Structure 1
């Protein structure tokens, strides 16, 4: 029987637990949630009805006995946890909520999560450990880089390319064929019509660009 552990016991970690329970209940996945790892919430704290905090991110665990999910909404934090534990041999669970739409011609890699009512379109590909939050959508022929996060209701139109560790804010829209550079960010409710360079913030409608790193 598969045993799952979630990194992050905050608000989003709790949501991931609920999505996991839904998938287990629907028979999409099998097994049980064992608990959470978190650096700020005390060990033993009950996070969900059935699972508690087992320790910090650095807690020594028998890695090969578990499958891991990352309940963190920041791309850099997701990337750091994934890389650290992947180097230790950890297996990360891909999670597609039963209410999400996943095109049969689309593909996503290990550790990625499609939250409730998210949409992943035809011939699109998402690299490892990326996240589509509720009601976010990826149109046809998109490429989503590793450790990228789409916030609720964020939208990628067709043929958009996101490099790694990109953050798209709530209700932001990326119009067709735009390319967003590594570690770039798009503010909530912004509309992007042009490419965004590495490490830049795009904000407004039409989006303006500000270099942040």
Structure 2
């Protein structure tokens, strides 16, 4: 994605966690050359550590930030978890009028995305990640380092594919679901909305909405209560 000279001046991160801010500042700097960031916090937590010689980072509360004055600048999420990204999108859409079109997709140069694959705004595709032919990634999807998304896969909004997970061909993952590190999803399997697949699981059958499932073979264990109040 091309961004204008004005947009290159800085980028806004919405929400913050140590992992999220640290990861996004490095990836955005490598991808776009941006070194100035505004981090807008929706909760009163300590500022995250950063290296002053690398980046110029300013922290703001969501109530004090001037969203209108900063409309020219693109945004991304400053957190990693699917349900938190969902909450933050709703919050900043209502508070600051931030829409999906304002979020920049971040694709690291050492990732591979097939020419026939597609992704929406706000995605994060980390180094060594693979997105195969005719796959579709929804808004705010995160494909972590060394994860592989197979051909003709469909990932709903806010899905997280964690490091080294492997999705085979024609896999469907519903909105807000997370696939744990090193999990393997077999061909044609459907993962429901807002479910969590545990790390290292081998999934050979469909998984319903709103559950935590893990194991080899992967089985439903309990309700995914983290989404209960969202």
The TM-score normalised by the length of structure 2 is 0.83
Gaps of 5+ in 1: 26-30
Map of 1:47-62 to 2, 5 A cutoff?
47-48=50-51, 49-62=54-67
> Per-residue deviation at 1:80?
1.1
Map of 1:49-198 to 2, 5 A cutoff?
49-63=54-68, 64-87=71-94, 88-90=96-98, 91-198=102-209
Gaps of 5+ in 2: 1-5, 226-230
SS in structure 2 of the partner of residue 209 of structure 1: strand
Q: How many residues align?
A: 207
Partner of 2:40 in structure 1?
37
> Per-residue deviation at 1:157?
0.6
Partner of 1:15 in structure 2?
23
Partner of 1:24 in structure 2?
32
SS in structure 2 of the partner of residue 141 of structure 1: coil
Evaluate the alpha carbon distance shift between residue 125 and residue 149 of structure 1 in structure 2; reply closer, same or farther with a 3 A threshold: same
CA distance in 2, matches of 1:203, 1:56: 38
Evaluate the alpha carbon distance shift between residue 53 and residue 187 of structure 1 in structure 2; reply closer, same or farther with a 3 A threshold: farther
Evaluate the alpha carbon distance shift between residue 53 and residue 32 of structure 1 in structure 2; reply closer, same or farther with a 3 A threshold: closer
Evaluate the alpha carbon distance shift between residue 56 and residue 136 of structure 1 in structure 2; reply closer, same or farther with a 3 A threshold: farther
CA distance in 2, matches of 1:107, 1:96: 12
CA distance in 2, matches of 1:162, 1:133: 15
Query: Which has the larger displacement, 162-171 or 66-75?
Result: 66-75
SS in structure 2 of the partner of residue 123 of structure 1: coil
